[in-house]
Amino acid sequence: MSASQTTPGIVAGRLPPEAYCENFADVIPPLGAHEAVVASDRCYFCHDAPCITACPTSIDIPLFIRQIQTGNPEGAAKTILSQNILGGMCARVCPTETLCEEACVREAAEGKPVEIGRLQRYATDTLMAAGVHPFTRAAPTGKRVAVVGAGPAGLACAHRLAMHGHDVVILDARPKAGGLNEYGIASYKAPGGFAQAELDWLLMIGGITVQTGRALGRDVTLDALAADHDAVFLGMGLAGVNALGAPGDDKDGVRAAVDFIADLRQAADLATLPVGRNVVVIGGGMTAIDAAVQSKLLGAETVTIVYRRGQEAMSASRYEQEHATANGVRIVCNARPVAVHGNGTVREVEFEYTRTGAKGLEGTGETFRLPADQVFRAIGQKLDGAPSGLDLSGGKIAVTGPGRTSRPGVWAGGDCAAGGEDLTVTAVAEGRDAAMDIHAHLTGGAG
């Protein structure tokens, strides 16, 4: 039974029908052709461009911006996509304000960087709108690779392997491919079914078969995949969600923020999606921000993010924090949940103020309560059901170099692998680099 059926405060249709389209429209409108040329004119085209170093996929940013400036957005897109095949989505969801744009010389000199993210979107959208795939598949090698997980890491790995002529089968536990791009980001960042459109475009390379509804451990084993394929790449992300660890966190109205976001992304009509009147989100990352802002956009009266440390320690960027507060979300820091109150259904959440002591984070003993009929847990995810026989590090799959696991013939990347940041662009880089190492392994090259 859903929370909306058991919790009176969580209801659908809080807003007039027309408000949903307006609230969930593209949060950053795309650049037009003239706007893109004007924006590109601000680039200094640095020789040792710091923006390239700041990009996890090492896109040649000055080159693609110059290509836009000279009227060649399709060429710019190829420059981007040769390093980041999911450059369209990354242009929408990457925290460019803390990556390439923060490193931009214009940012240091004027406090206003070149709009690299929007220019990247302009280029990739132009190419995709033309229905063009700029890469061709090499002659078939006869090698077969299994990729577990159709998220950013798995898709990037699969595309690069297919481009080199290998046959790839992608297995994903969900009904749709796309991973976090399809299920895990705020709807206003990629409206209009963009995640699936980008997926369809990526598959134009050929040589990739996608099998949805197939989970590692439930439907197939790693041993079976390894036996039937020449290599295996694991990119299944993190399916588990950390618990609050506070009494009452199993009450009706308390759920994982990622599940709420997934429901929202898949809802055919947002007016049918239930939301609370008073919503509390616990956590300090992008998932917390996305859940909080979208709760507000769905019509929640009060939405509060509560984070256990100081605001400067939140993993969500300052830009995203300001976006949340601009949409009416309140952020409370230095507080941790100690109890969820209510008679079977959440009514209040009790918090204790925190401080940094000699032994780390500690409670002060001072508490407060927030009214809540809906609570979202956004305190991190974990790897559930890691395949046996693989070394782990910090609860994730241990890897060395370009994604090599402790088992020969098996690679891993993205959120399920240890190391790196939990970002779409980082997952793409790890999938791409693992693919190149797999290709070298399969063809007897170095690596």
- Domain 144-239+383-443 classification at class level: alpha beta
Q: Which long-range contacts (CB under 8 A, 24 or more apart) does 178-181 make?
A: 178/150, 178/151, 179/149, 179/150, 179/151, 179/152, 179/153, 179/154, 179/155, 179/235, 179/237, 180/151, 180/152, 180/237, 180/415, 180/424, 181/86, 181/89, 181/93, 181/151, 181/152, 181/424
pLDDT along the chain (447 residues), means of 10: 60 94 93 97 95 97 98 98 98 94 94 97 97 95 98 98 98 96 94 95 98 96 97 95 91 96 95 96 97 98 97 94 97 97 95 93 96 96 89 95 97 93 93 98 77
Does 144-239+383-443 match 3-25+241-377 at the fold level? yes
For domain 3-25+241-377, give the CATH number. 3.50.50.60
Give residue 398's pLDDT: 97
Per-domain residue ranges of the chain:
3-25+241-377, 33-129, 144-239+383-443
Give residue 388's pLDDT: 87
- Domain 33-129 classification at class level: mainly alpha
Distance CA 180, CA 156 (A): 13
Give residue 7's pLDDT: 75
> Cβ(311)–Cβ(406) under 8 Å?
no
pTM over 0.85: yes
Return the biggest CA–CA distance within the chain: 67
From the number of C-beta atoms within 10 Å of its C-beta (0-12, 13-18, 19+), residue 8 rates as exposed
Give residue 6's pLDDT: 53
